[in-house]
Amino acid sequence: MNQHAIAALRPRRAKILATVGPASRSPEMLRRLFLAGVDTFRLNFSHGSHDDHRAAFDAIRALEAEFDQPIGILQDLQGPKIRIGQLAGGPIPLTAGDMLTLTLDGADGTIPLPHPEIFDAVQPGHQLLIDDGRIRLEAVAHDAGSITARVVAGGRLQDRKGVNLPDTVVDLPALTAKDRDDLEFGMSLGVDWVALSFVQRPEDLELAKALIQGRAGLIAKIEKPSALLTLPQIVAGSDGIMIARGDLGVEIPPEEVPGRQKEIIRLCRQMDRPVIVATQMLESMTGTPTPTRAEASDVATAIYDGADAVMLSAETASGQYPAEAVDMMDRIIRRTEAHPFYAASLKATAPDAHDPHQAIAEAAVELAGAIAAPALVAFSSTGASGLRIASHRAPRPTVLLTADLAVARRMALVWGIRPLLDADVTDHDSVPIMAEAAIAQLGIGQSGQSIVVVCGFPFGVAGTTNSLRVTPLGQTERETA
């Protein structure tokens, strides 16, 4: 198998999403990361300039051309981050039991919190968590311009530290002015996915969808407790979900995060949406060449749960061992997927076939298992049939053939899917020929085996997946001999 085929057919089904940053922005390192196992790259617009992101984008697209393999690029918008303002007298030591006052401008020795929408929304008893929850306050009283709070857990309060409000639904814009500017830039580049931060309600997705206009998939980041209240509607309104455990783990009790992770992944599988598990997966590898055993277990748990992708953040963006972190994540995924418990855990949470399209996807997976097919091949103009097959977690590679490069790039994030760009299928006779050629290109299967092929008639019309066939490998060669 040549180098291109190795890149196209990785020996695992869950995908790796890696963040680009100062440690990984060079073309040489991006190439190392791709060869180590990255399927989709994340551009984090909380950091870096537009020029930085453009250079990384161009380098990734050059990799794509070199390996003739679609690579996804995800733009992660910063979102409306709430922060403490500038402290006039420098850092302030806080002790449990202290009373303090937060105001818009920090006048008269108060704590500056320059976000007027918070003063309208917070209520007595609500928590204010500062610096990733290291400092915890409880609101005692409030009015239009001030909040009186009691210190529950103290510490050294510093400028510009983030504030989380787990009990408060704040009327913040879904997209800030910076986000709009960044999104316009991302659309001009041609990113494949856009991740929207701090989604609180389904309506938060509407503006982003209107601006994207179908040019990229929209991923809702679940990091606010309020999002959990309308989770089915948020999943339905998005094209994918990211379980952003950093802020979510601050705003809900840590012991709730694992269960919520399982719930979200299962719901996404039921609704045919790819789901990413993110934050601190191999965090210690920012400074050491190996992870902790707990981190390895964390990655494995996400894979057992059925996540489409697992994400590296600081590990590849600013860590000392970016390529090693990708390689380690790849190894953990492969070992987990090879474990006897893996298939059983996925089957236990398989979605129900709720419509004819889902029934065809489920039948394709079952048929591939019954005949020991080396692969499934799906023809798709939108990627929808690939998403449905992926939700059933077929234990064999699924090759998705599409004539739309944008679709192929987005599918690089989806569990078990190996996207290939090919011409539109035009007639019945072309289906087995193109399917077999794709299998041969990837170097899998051999003459005498059969593959399962899923497609739709009429050809090229979205939403018409209605055909399931078994194609013997080698038959087209014999017919043309």
Residue of 31, 54, 61, 83 with catalytic role: 83
CB of 219 closer than 8 Å to CB of 276: yes
Residue of 15, 42, 136, 410 with catalytic role: 42
Using DSSP, state whether 201 is helix, strand or coil.
Answer: coil
DSSP of 429-459, one letter per residue?
Answer: THHHHHHHHHHHHHT---BTBEEEEEEESST
In sequence order, what are the beta bridge partners of 155?
Answer: 94
Tokens of 114: 């320059």
Tokens of 23: 């440690």
| Residue 279 is a catalytic residue | yes
**C-alpha span between 154 and 149 (Å, rounded):** 12
**C-alpha span between 111 and 86 (Å, rounded):** 9
**C-alpha span between 372 and 4 (Å, rounded):** 25
CB of 42 closer than 8 Å to CB of 17: yes
Residue of 136, 221, 245, 409 with catalytic role: 221
Place of tokens 């992870």: 291
**C-alpha span between 228 and 248 (Å, rounded):** 10
Place of tokens 């580049």: 189
| Residue 101 is a catalytic residue | no
| Residue 83 is a catalytic residue | yes
**What are the Cα distances from residue 370, in Å, to 6, 442, 453?**
27, 22, 14
| Residue 42 is a catalytic residue | yes
Using DSSP, state whether 129 is helix, strand or coil.
Answer: strand
**C-alpha span between 29 and 361 (Å, rounded):** 38
Residue of 19, 40, 168, 279 with catalytic role: 279
φ, ψ for residue 393, nearest 5 deg: 50, 60
Identify the DSSP state of 194: E
Catalytic residues: 42, 83, 221, 279
